Chain A
Amino acid sequence: ELKVEQNPLFLSMQEGKNYTIYCNYSTTSDRLYWYRQDPGKSLESLFVLLSNGAVKQEGRLMASLDTKARLSTLHITAAVHDLSATYFCAVDTDKLIFGTGTRLQVFP
C-alpha cells in the first residue's frame, strides 16, 4: 500500500525565516503535486513535478522532486503571513494519494 508521509504536521514560524516541508512516499512514482488549502477553502494547485530532479519555484516557495529517494521538498524562503495555510503533497500512481498535510502558521 502506498504511503505518503509529510513532516512536520504543524509548523509555526516567524516571518522572514526559512523552512522546508518534507514529503516521503513508499512506492515508485515520478509524478508529484503540491497543493495549498486555506481554512474552509478548496485545494489550489501550487506545483506539478513530473520527473526526477524537477525543481519549480513560485515566489517564496520552491518545490523539488528526488524520485530515487522518494522524496519531495517544499522550501519556504523568508516567510510572510500570507503563506499561512495547509500544504499537501500528492503522489501520482494510478491515482492521487495525498499526504496528511502540513499546517503552516507564520507569525510576525
Chain B
Amino acid sequence: EAQVTQNPRYLITVTGKKLTVTCSQNMNHEYMSWYRQDPGLGLRQIYYSMNVEVTDKGDVPEGYKVSRKEKRNFPLILESPSPNQTSLYFCASRNDRVTEAFFGQGTRLTVV
C-alpha cells in the first residue's frame, strides 16, 4: 500500500531535549516536505527536499533541521525544542511538481 509513515504519532517532551520525527514514503517520490499546522494558520511549510541531498527552507524553518540521505526518508530534527514548536506536524511526498501531495498521519508534538 502506498503510504507516508510518520513516527511517533504523539510526543510530549521538555524544552531543550533534542528529538527527531521520522518520515518514510514507499512511493519512490522525489519531493518531500514538512509542514506544521496551527489553529487559524493553515499548514505552513518548514523544509522541503527535491531529491537526495537537496533540501531547502520553507516559510518557517527556524528551530528545525532536516536531512535527505535516502530517497524514502526525510527526518525532521528539533535540536533544542521550545514551547512555540508545540504543533501538529505533517510530512508529505509527491512525485513531481505537478502532482498532488500525499500526507503522513501527523505527529502531535507538545513541548513543555
A45 touches B42 (CB 8 A): no
Q: Bin the interface of chain A by size.
A: 20 to 34
| Distance to closest chain B CB from A66 (angstroms) | 19
A33-B97 in contact (CB<8A): no
B90 touches A45 (CB 8 A): no
A15 to B102, CA, bound (A): 30
Q: How many B residues are at the interface, by size bracket? A: 20 to 34
Which DSSP category, helix, strand, loop or mixed, fits chain A's interface?
A: strand
Binds B, one of A57-65, A67-75, A77-85, A90-98: A90-98
Q: What residues make up the interface of A, taking CB atoms closer than 8 Å to B?
A: 4, 31, 33, 41-45, 48, 50, 88, 90, 92, 94-101
Ordered by A's residue number, 30 sampled pairs between the chains whose C-beta atoms are within 8 Å are A4-B42, A33-B101, A41-B106, A42-B103, A42-B104, A42-B106, A43-B43, A43-B90, A43-B92, A43-B103, A44-B103, A45-B101, A48-B99, A48-B100, A88-B42, A90-B43, A90-B101, A92-B97, A92-B98, A94-B97, A95-B45, A95-B48, A96-B33, A96-B92, A98-B42, A98-B43, A98-B44, A99-B42, A100-B42, A101-B42
